[in-house]
Structure 1
Amino acid sequence: MLLTPVSLLMPAPLQETRPVSSQTGGTDAVAQSFGNLLRQKLDELNNLQQQADALTQEYFAGKVEDVHQVMLALEEANLSLQLAMQVRNKAVEAYQEISRMQI
C-alpha cells in the first residue's frame, strides 16, 4: 500500500491579490470591455431577429418550402430575445438594489 505524505495533501498557499486596476489596466478597460461585449451580443440578437424575419418573408413569398427551418429560426430568435430581456431585468433589479442601499 502506497502512503502519501501529509505535506502533499495540504492546499497550496494563496497568492497575493492585486487590485483590479493593476491587473486589467483599470476599471475603464473593464467597463469598456463589458460595453463592447454587450454591444456585440445585442448585434447578434438583432441579426437573429432579422434573419428570422427574412426567412419568414421568403416562406410567405414561396421561396422557402421548409416550414421546419422557418420555425427553428423564429424560435431561436424568440429565445434569444427572452434571454436578453431577462438579463435586462436582472440589471435593472441590481441597479435598483444598489440605489436603495444606505451609504
Structure 2
Amino acid sequence: MEINGFTPSEAIFNNPLKTDKQSSGVSFDSFFKDSLDKVNDKQVAADELTKGFVSGKNVDINDVMLAGEEAKISLQLAVQIRNKVVEAVQELTRMQL
C-alpha cells in the first residue's frame, strides 16, 4: 500500500522485542529486569559516594550530588513507567468486549 508517495518497509512492522531464531531481539522481561538493575546500580553507586564523602575520603561533593540526583531521577522515571503500565492494565481490564 502506498500513501502519498510513501511506501512503508517491512522493518517498521516487525516487533523489535520478539525473540525467535531469526531475530536477536530482547524479550520484554529481560529488558525490564536489565533496566531495573541499572536503576539499582545507580542507587548503590550514589550511596557508596555518599558514604565515602561522609567518612572523609577524597570524594568531590559535585560527584556526590550528581550521582544522587541521577539516582533520584532514574528511580522517579522507573516509578512513572510502572504507574503507566499499571494504568494501562487497569484500562484493559475495564474495557468491554
Same fold per superposition (TM over 0.5): yes
Aligned mates of 2:84, 2:5 — CA distance in 1: 36
Identity percentage of aligned residues? 45
CA deviation after TM superposition for structure 1 residue 19, in Å: 8.5
Specify the alignment match of 1:101 in structure 2.
95
- Give the CA deviation at 1:11: 1.4
The TM-score, its normalising length taken from structure 1, stands at 0.72
Identify which of 64, 68, 71 aligns with 1:70: 64
Query: What is the alpha-carbon distance in structure 2 between the residues aligned to residue 97 and residue 83 of structure 1?
Result: 21
Contact 1:48 1:76 in 2 (8 A): yes
- Name the structure with the higher helix share: 1
The 1-side partners of 2:89 and 2:61 are apart by 42
Write the deviation string for residues 9-47 of structure 1: whole angstroms up to 9, x where unpaired.
x61555679886xx863xxxx8x7111110000000000
The answer for unaligned runs of 5 or more in structure 1 is 1-9
Rg larger for: 1
Q: C-alpha offsets along residues 53-98 of structure 1, whole Å, 9 cap, x if unaligned?
A: 0000000000034111100000000000000000000000000000
Gaps of 5+ in 2: none
Across the aligned residues of Structure 1 and Structure 2, the Cα RMSD in angstroms comes to 2.8
Q: How many residues align?
A: 88
**Alignment TM-score, normalising by the size of structure 2:** 0.76
Q: Tell me the equivalent position of 2:44.
A: 50
